[in-house]
Each structure stands twice: as C-alpha cells, then as structure tokens.
Amino acid sequence: MYEVHTTITLRNGKDVMKAEMGLIKEAEVRQVTLDAVVDTGAWCLVINEETRAKLGVEVTGTDTVNLADGGRTECSTVGLIETWWKDRHYTHDALMLPDSKEVLLGAIPLEAMDLIVDPRQGTLIGAHGDQIVHRLY
C-alpha cells in the first residue's frame, strides 16, 4: 500500500474574513503551503502544533479520537481554517495532534472539494474532472 501526498494551502479563516471586510490587507492573511497525506480513513483535516502556530488559529475545544493503530487520544479542535487545493477550497475546523509529523487531508474536506484518489496514478484528482459537483444528500 502506498501513501498519496498532495500540496495544499491552509489559510487562517478569521484573517480571510478580516481581509474581506477591509480590516487587514490580503497580504496579512496568515497561510502556509505544505505537503499533506491524503487520508480517506481520517474524517477531517488533522494538523500539528507547528502548523497551528504558523496559521495563528485558536484552540476551540477538545475531542476524543480513534487512531489508526486502534488507540484513542484527546486532541484539540482548532479553527477556522480555509483549505485550498488548486482552485478549490473549503472552510472548516480541524483537529490538532501536537506531536504529529504529518498533516492529514481527510474525507470531509475531500468530499467538500469534490476530490478523489486516482489509484492508477497515485494522485488526487477532481471527481468530476475540472468541474466541481456538490451533492445535496
């Protein structure tokens, strides 16, 4: 089995709103472009403390999560984050695992951006080509 990686840009969602209201300049929106593991077994975006600090997003709560190895742990919820993949984006909260070495792009943001894994190419692609098609159910 192999891992699929992709480049994503994460932006501080509150900064984005401030820029839209003219309270800060677009160049002041905190963001980071990084390599993420596409993890269809994870349900959301999972970041680490380093990424949270670069984005300046706030801890909004805690949650208990099941890990891939069968264990459970407490982690923080953080947000608001805007996730970009090429010309597609989704705004949401994320989970933060402080000691994680990787950022995981999970099923909900993948679905929201109409993305799937192409197993032949080992890459992330649009589920409907270049056109985003959202489901209403």
- pTM across the whole model: 0.91
CA Rg value for the chain: 15
Number of C-beta neighbours around residue 82 at 10 A: 21
Residue 135 pLDDT more than 70?
no
Is CATH 3.40.50.300 the right assignment for the domain spanning 4-126? no
Q: Are the C-beta atoms of residues 71 and 123 closer than 8 Å to each other?
A: no
Which 3 state secondary structure label does DSSP give 76?
strand
Which 3 state secondary structure label does DSSP give 16?
helix
Q: Are the C-beta atoms of residues 91 and 110 closer than 8 Å to each other?
A: no
Sign of CA dihedral 74, 4, 53, 107: negative
- pLDDT 10s digits, 74-124: 999 998 999 999 999 999 999 999 788 899 999 999 999 999 999 888 899
